[in-house]
Amino acid sequence: MIAPVPNVAEMAPYALADLGRESMISLAQNESAFGPSPLAVEAGQRALAGAALYPDPNWTELRRAISQTHSLPGENLLCGAGSMELIGCLIRAFAGPGNEVLGSARGYLFAATACQQAGAAYVTAPEAGFTVSPDAILAAVTDRTRIVFLCNPGNPTGTRILNADIALLRGGLPSGVLLIVDQAYAEFDDQDHAAAFALAQRGATVVLRTFSKAYALAGARVGWGLFPGAVAREVRKLLNPNNVSGVSQAMAEAAMRDQEHMLAIVTRTVAIRREFTERLRRAGYVPPESHTNFVLIPFASVEAAKAADKRLRDAGLLMRGMAGYGLAHCLRATVAAPEHMARAADVLAAFREHGNDR
Ligand SMILES: *Cc1c(COP(=O)(O)O)cnc(C)c1O
């Protein structure tokens, strides 16, 4: 028998969403309810003809677009094949066997997978309700902590803390601990993000963004981050050379330059989310206030969540089960087209009205 290294032998594969039957409407993967910018599609089509050549390894034009849009120094930007690639490389660069990566109890599970890949321990601090507690994170720091991983707004909770509180968290952490702020949903969160970017320019903090959510390019696999120079140098060694295809770079660049399209996606998504959340509340559910493109729906019990999931599947709708997050009594619903959200709200309202949420 060929033996893998111990940390790989012990790990379970990353649990992707159950995609159900082909005919089902997926509310399971936090993909955009709307398509990408038509300018991004055109740019991708134009770039196809260049596929004989390797892509720009430095993402020059894409970085220029990000740098100009967000007023950030281009030399501190790195791009990944999705922000997941950046998360994986950051954790491998700064944590290994004997080290701890500290997350929040309801934090993004890919961080745990990346830790297993790196042979580092992933530990979590408790949350206050469904919201990250900076104090609990600070209290959980040990000599072994190398990285604090924070997803804000959070997945799967949808809640957020203020950037001013992230600055306080940073201030309370030892300077040798790297803070990663995963802002995959920042475009849906109406607070000012300059304060978060400012932290990354001061050192020991990284801010990550993605084109997969508000830019509607999950299939293109492009993420980016703002890195202190010394951190970027190490992460760069671990990125695959030529990691983002030419087509994807062209699409992402055009999408970044079309802020109007992205903001329209956000506005429409938020309107559908509010309507869906209100309908759930009127039916008696208590979803936490979301600042993302999804809603976490707590049920009265694990059995109720399972039964509701079955009703939804029978109606052709697939939400994300949350057992992997220790939230087996919840389902997570990605905001989709209004008619699909209306159908989901109908099913869940009837479920509760018939006394099944017990
Ligand atoms: C969707 C998501 C990402 C984005 O991953 P990509 O690899 O960029 O598609 C990152 N972090 C969180 C918390 C997410 O939900």
For 123-169, the pLDDT digits (tens) are 999 998 899 999 999 999 999 999 999 999 999 999 999 999 999 99
In this predicted structure, what is the pLDDT of residue 12? 82
- Answer whether 155 contacts ligand 1 (Cβ < 6 A): yes
Residue 203 has pLDDT above 90, yes or no: no
Distance, CA of 234 to CA of 135 (rounded, Å): 29
Residue 5 has pLDDT above 90, yes or no: no
Burial of 159 (0-12, 13-18, 19+ CB in 10 A): buried
Q: Mutate which of 182, 217, 222, 240 to test ligand 1's pocket (most atoms within 8 Å of Cβ)?
A: 182
Average pLDDT of the residues of the chain:
96
Distance, CA of 63 to CA of 17 (rounded, Å): 31
Cα–Cα nearest to 137, from 114, 95, 107, 99: 107
> What does the pLDDT look like over 227-247, one tens digit per residue?
999 999 999 999 999 999 999
Residue with tokens 């003809």: 49
| Encoded amino acid at 218, one letter | A
Cα–Cα nearest to 32, from 280, 267, 344, 281: 267
pLDDT band, very low/low/confident/very high, at 1 (cuts 50, 70, 90): confident
Q: Which residues contact 182 (CB under 8 A, 6 or more apart)?
A: 83, 87, 108, 111, 149, 150, 151, 152, 208
- Answer whether 218 contacts ligand 1 (Cβ < 6 A): yes
Query: In angstroms, what is the span from residue 83 Cα to ligand 1's centroid?
Result: 6
Cα–Cα nearest to 110, from 140, 90, 130, 138: 90
The answer to whether 205 and 183 are in contact (CB under 8 A) is no
Atom of ligand 1 nearest to the CA of 85: 7
At CB < 8 A and 24+ separation, what contacts does 276-282 make?
A: 276/333, 276/335, 276/341, 276/344, 276/345, 279/342, 279/345, 279/349, 280/345, 280/348, 280/349, 282/349
Residue 255 has pLDDT above 80, yes or no: yes
The answer to whether 200 and 228 are in contact (CB under 8 A) is yes
In this predicted structure, what is the pLDDT of residue 145? 98
In this predicted structure, what is the pLDDT of residue 294? 98
Q: Which residues contact 158 (CB under 8 A, 6 or more apart)?
A: 130, 185, 287, 288, 289, 290, 291, 292, 294, 295, 296
> What does the pLDDT look like over 276-334, one tens digit per residue?
999 999 999 999 999 999 999 999 999 999 999 999 999 999 999 999 999 999 999 99
Give CATH for domain 19-34+260-353: 3.90.1150.10
The answer to whether 271 and 40 are in contact (CB under 8 A) is no
Residue 10 has pLDDT above 90, yes or no: no
pLDDT band, very low/low/confident/very high, at 6 (cuts 50, 70, 90): confident
Cα–Cα nearest to 226, from 21, 349, 83, 29: 83
Residue 186 has pLDDT above 90, yes or no: yes
Q: CATH 3.90.1150.10 residue ranges in the chain?
A: 19-34+260-353
Residue nearest to atom 14 of ligand 1 (CA): 184
pLDDT band, very low/low/confident/very high, at 97 (cuts 50, 70, 90): very high
Q: CATH 3.40.640.10 residue ranges in the chain?
A: 38-257
Q: What is the CA 320 to chain-centroid distance, rounded?
A: 14
- Answer whether 217 contacts ligand 1 (Cβ < 6 A): no
- Answer whether 223 contacts ligand 1 (Cβ < 6 A): yes
> Residues 18-43, buried b or exposed e (16+ Cβ, 10 A)?
eebeeebbbbbebbbbbebbebbeeb
Tell which CATH classification among 3.40.50.1220, 3.40.50.720, 3.40.640.10, 3.40.50.150 matches the domain 38-257.
3.40.640.10
